[in-house]
């Protein structure tokens, strides 16, 4: 495996950074720290440490070694470590990095937990639908055919779909494989376009905007707190956001700051996207000379808003999903039961 393709799970990444920071804080040299961590490491973590050890022996800095693993450390992290090494505070930077990874992990876990219920409902629905189409419908269809019952349109559609699935299983499986392969290819090559469409959904657009603004303010705080110039920091945080309009605002802010104006003036260029409270807090921070602390306050406030938005979306999605699945499954069952009742009524009339 090429070193640029090496990745670590969140747990391994936190453990790696935490151990590194603890040992450096206790006064152990970097090379001794790496040698000590290598004794108990395995897999991708071991490969990373081996590369780091070789680079340190050649006199290279830690951030240069970490930059070789883009799937583990992003540009923001690399620049934070670079600034820390130049100022001699690598142990503090690693400790802050651990806290950042933990916050991002908690952030991601919130989103995953909110999506878990809808995904579970969808899987249950797909499972029930497959059981009905593959096992229930074929048996009932034989009975209806033998008795020559007049079938309603929904029942005919169900039988037609069931026949396709049972009589053309291999071609159907091949078709599904090609379909999912095409979806994966589209996701890899047109990820931003697909996300752009998904982000336009009513509730999702609000949530993604809050997530982007939280990441923007939090990462900008860490970069400014490390002593990185604001223009460079704004260029780096542009990569952490998902929505194109937020990225455009950040670019505009960088141009505004580069021309000698304040960050708050750049944020005011799009008051519909940027909350007024965020602009006011940034403005207050600029006037008092505590912009980095103001950005931290904003990230914490927006994090709280994301939690509330997730609760609202989850509360809305759960009943909607239940009603949607109930209507579809109920409709399928009625399509089966209706001809049976029709048959019973015909027998009763005779």
Query: Where in the chain are the domains?
Result: 3-102, 116-350
Q: pLDDT of 267-285, one tens digit each?
A: 988 888 888 899 999 999 9
Same fold, 3-102 and 116-350: yes
What pLDDT, on the 0 to 100 scale, is given for residue 347?
61
What architecture is domain 116-350? Up-down Bundle (1.20)
Q: pLDDT of 222-263, one tens digit each?
A: 888 888 889 999 988 888 888 888 889 999 999 999 998 999
Tokens of 285: 């921070």
Residue 301, Cα to own-chain centre: how many angstroms?
Answer: 20
- Does domain 3-102 bear CATH number 3.30.565.10? no
What pLDDT, on the 0 to 100 scale, is given for residue 258?
92
What pLDDT, on the 0 to 100 scale, is given for residue 345?
67
Q: Work out whether the CA dihedral 93, 98, 99, 104 comes out positive or negative.
A: positive
What pLDDT, on the 0 to 100 scale, is given for residue 86?
82
User: Cβ–Cβ contacts within 10 Å for residue 130, how many?
Assistant: 11
Q: Alpha carbon of 236 to those of 110, 166, 197, 218, 231: distances in Å? A: 25, 54, 25, 12, 9
Cα angle 312, 318, 322 (rounded to 5 degrees) comes to: 155
Kindly give, in sequence order, each residue whose CB lies less than 8 Å from that of residue 334, ignoring residues fewer than 6 positions away.
Answer: 154
What pLDDT, on the 0 to 100 scale, is given for residue 256?
92
Q: Which residues of the chain have pLDDT under 70?
A: 1, 191-192, 195, 345-350
What pLDDT, on the 0 to 100 scale, is given for residue 322?
81
């Amino acid at each position: 495996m090429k070193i640029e393709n090496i990745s670590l799970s969140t747990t391994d990444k936190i453990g790696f950074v935490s151990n590194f920071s603890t040992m450096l804080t206790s006064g152990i040299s970097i090379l001794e720290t790496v040698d000590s961590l290598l004794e108990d490491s395995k897999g991708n973590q071991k490969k990373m440490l081996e590369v780091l050890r070789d680079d340190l022996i050649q006199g290279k800095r830690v951030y240069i070694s970490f930059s070789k693993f883009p799937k583990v450390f992003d540009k923001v992290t690399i620049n934070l470590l670079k600034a820390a090494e130049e100022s001699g505070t690598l142990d503090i930077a690693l400790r802050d990095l651990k806290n950042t990874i933990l916050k991002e992990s908690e952030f991601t876990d919130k989103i995953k937990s909110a999506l878990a219920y809808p995904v579970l409902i969808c899987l249950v629905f797909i499972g029930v639908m497959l059981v009905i189409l593959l096992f229930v419908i074929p048996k009932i269809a034989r009975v209806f055919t033998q008795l020559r019952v007049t079938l309603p349109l929904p029942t005919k559609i169900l039988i037609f779909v069931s026949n396709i699935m049972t009589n053309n299983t291999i071609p159907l499986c091949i078709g599904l494989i090609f379909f999912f392969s095409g979806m994966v290819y589209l996701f890899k090559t047109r990820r931003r376009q697909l996300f752009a469409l998904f982000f336009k959904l009513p509730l999702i657009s609000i949530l993604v905007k809050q997530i982007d603004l939280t990441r923007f303010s939090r990462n900008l705080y860490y970069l400014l707190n490390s002593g990185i110039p604001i223009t460079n920091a704004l260029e780096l945080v542009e990569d952490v956001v998902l929505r194109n309009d937020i990225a455009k605002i950040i670019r505009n802010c960088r141009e505004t700051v580069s021309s000698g104006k304040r960050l708050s003036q750049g944020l005011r260029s799009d008051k519909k996207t940027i909350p007024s409270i965020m602009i006011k807090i940034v403005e207050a921070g600029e006037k008092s000379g505590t912009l980095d602390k103001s950005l931290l306050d904003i990230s914490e406030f927006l994090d709280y808003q994301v939690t509330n938005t997730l609760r609202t979306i989850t509360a809305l999605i759960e009943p909607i999903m239940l009603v949607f699945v109930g209507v579809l499954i109920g409709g399928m069952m009625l399509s089966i039961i209706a001809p049976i009742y029709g048959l019973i009524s015909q027998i009763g009339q005779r």
